[in-house]
Structure 1
Amino acid sequence: MSENTSKWVYLFVLSLIWGSSFILMKKALIGVTPFQLGALRNIFTAFILFTVGLKYIKTIDKAAWKWIALSGVFGSFIPAFLFAIAETEIDSAIASILNSLVPLQTILVGFAVFQIASTKRQVFGVVLGFIGTALLVMEGSDLNPHQNYLYAGYIVLATVMYAFNVNIIKRHLQHLKPLTIATGNYVVVVIPACIILFFTGFFERSNLHQPTLKMALVYIFILSFFGTALAKVLFNKLIKISTPVFASSVTYVMPIVALTWGFLDGEGFSVLQGFASLIILSGVYLANKRA
């Protein structure tokens, strides 16, 4: 298979994996609480990565550990809880579209914190993306009055943290292999995740005998293995054989998969929400488009 063909295969597979992760979170929440979901996702991913990446930990220099820790907290640990909490109130398809704000947030954080210059086109893309977000949230609150769309703020906060993570890796961890960074991230966060899981009452007898728990654990393991551990490796490979611009286009395809899952699961979606989604994706496209 040629590199040109391979990059399209990787793009399709990543879109399918990441686009499906939102419905997996929704299904898992039937049997666990948001904090249990976030903790278990971190724990499962940690042990999956440890099986292949623990031997590379010794290559991390002492000065890099503080950035590894920040990357783990912002890029993995806290967002796992924020998405789980958000999906207790808003549909999985909406969560996936809001997640498309990550490239826009990356530009904002890069400019505000890391002094990375932005073009007028990128600024326009950011503004357009946030207009689309406001429309999406307002229409969602009208379409689903029983849902609290203020919970969309949790996803917006998660995208800001993802943006910090991208900039931290770009600025301070470029000398380390992607698998080394990912494994180091989970070395830092796995113990806090275990502590949180313990205090959620997960190990209480009444909880362990819930009929819905077994399927929830299956969903979480699938989410951790494919949506986090495997996806990180595939995405790094995609960047290697293509360009960052092409790799970031997974953001455009991923919501289509999530919307399909949401439709099949009976989630409502209006024409105005579709229009708002196109505005967001247009903003992301403009912000990432080459001059």
Structure 2
Amino acid sequence: MSDSNRSKAVLLFVSLTLIWGTSFILIKQGLKVFSPDEVGAIRVASASLFLLPLAFPRLKELQPQHYTKLFASGMLGIFIPAFLFATAQTRMDSSVAGIMNTLTPIFTMIIGAVIFKLRFKSIAIVGILLGFAGGVILGFSRADGSVSFNLFALLIVLACFCYGSNLNLIKFKIPDLGSLTITSVSLLLIGPLALIYLFGFSNFTTKLTTEPGAWKAFGFIVLLGLMSTAIATILFNRMVKLSTALFASSVTYALPIVAVMWGVLDGEQLGVGHFIGMAAIIGGVYLANRK
């Protein structure tokens, strides 16, 4: 990675940390009125509609083989995780959900090594493991000092596997397309699925007109779709192009710090283990991405 690209990648890294770190508290606000399936569908649909004007002009860039890859990218990187995270957050704090997201670089590295035969320096592996250890510490820590495991965390593990798969897909199977094309067309392909569910199989419209606070919750989810899905995915895909899949996935090590801070502001509590875990995460990011 050149110095110029590294600087751009670092700027994107910081921006994504702030945007994605905020997404978990937005999901929490949306779940106050809507079901997790509705939250996921509204998120995907709003992002798709937002980028619709940009998607159609870019269809002329595509070859027939691109459509299957872009649909797979949309499902793995956006659609499936949107539903999994919303469902998981019905049984866990937003801060813990953000923390569990640190598993993404682990899956990125494993999939890259097994399928694409990538090799990593020892120091990068140490950084990945240190960051992962920090995520585990955070995930199992409680404000009262107790330790427990939440089965709903497995949904986030599956979402992280999807993210890791998508990262490698973009890096190695769609290298000829720009980040805006990948994001907008992927959302164009998966958006109809979300809209069909919302208006054909959910009580979305009824809740909007009858539930107190529904429009406020809807606004939070739309903001989630626009910022954390549409804009953030464009920035993220750009970072993948500029750097490596491992560097890009390491943003998931830093965003839990933002997610935890939002959780604290919303009344969620931190213990000593949370601070130890966050320190390990920062150290892991540094080691994993050293030159």
Q: Under TM normalisation by the shorter chain, which class is it?
A: 0.7 to 0.9
Inter-partner Cα distance in structure 2 for 1:76 and 1:12 = 20
Q: Which runs of 5+ in 1 are unaligned?
A: none
Q: CA deviation at 1:210?
A: 0.9
Q: TM-score, normalised by structure 1?
A: 0.85
Inter-partner Cα distance in structure 1 for 2:251 and 2:94 = 17
SS at match of 1:266: coil
Inter-partner Cα distance in structure 1 for 2:128 and 2:16 = 24
Q: Which runs of 5+ in 2 are unaligned?
A: none
Inter-partner Cα distance in structure 2 for 1:224 and 1:185 = 14
Q: 1:112 to 1:175 in 2, by over 3 A?
A: same
Q: CA deviation at 1:232?
A: 2.9
Which deviates more, 116-125 or 33-42?
116-125
1:101 — aligned with what?
A: 103
Q: CA deviation at 1:69?
A: 1.6
Which deviates more, 38-47 or 153-162?
153-162
Inter-partner Cα distance in structure 2 for 1:260 and 1:188 = 35
For 1:221-260, list aligned pairs within 5 A: 221-235=222-236, 250-260=251-261
One-letter code of the match for 1:175?
D
Q: Contact between 1:71 and 1:169, CA under 8 Å: does it hold in 2?
A: yes
- Say whether 1:174 aligns with 2:143: no
Q: CA deviation at 1:111?
A: 1.0
- Say whether 1:158 aligns with 2:159: yes
For 1:73-152, list aligned pairs within 5 A: 73-140=75-142, 149-152=150-153
Q: 1:214 to 1:247 in 2, by over 3 A?
A: same
Per-residue CA distance 1:37-70 (angstroms, 9 max, x = gap): 0011111111111122221012111112221121
Q: 1:280 to 1:61 in 2, by over 3 A?
A: same
User: Which of the residues 36, 41, 58 maps onto 1:34?
Assistant: 36
Q: 1:244 to 1:194 in 2, by over 3 A?
A: closer
Which deviates more, 27-36 or 229-238?
229-238
The number of residue pairs the alignment matches comes to 288
One-letter code of the match for 1:275?
I
One-letter code of the match for 1:223?
L
Inter-partner Cα distance in structure 1 for 2:240 and 2:111 = 21
Q: 1:30 to 1:15 in 2, by over 3 A?
A: same
- Say whether 1:274 aligns with 2:263: no
Q: Contact between 1:100 and 1:281, CA under 8 Å: does it hold in 2?
A: no
Q: TM-score, normalised by structure 2?
A: 0.85
Which deviates more, 170-179 or 9-18?
9-18
Which deviates more, 136-145 or 278-287?
136-145
CA RMSD in angstroms comes to 3.1
User: Which of the residues 51, 54, 57 maps onto 1:52?
Assistant: 54
- Say whether 1:212 aligns with 2:206: no
One-letter code of the match for 1:176?
L
Q: Contact between 2:254 and 2:285, CA under 8 Å: does it hold in 1?
A: no
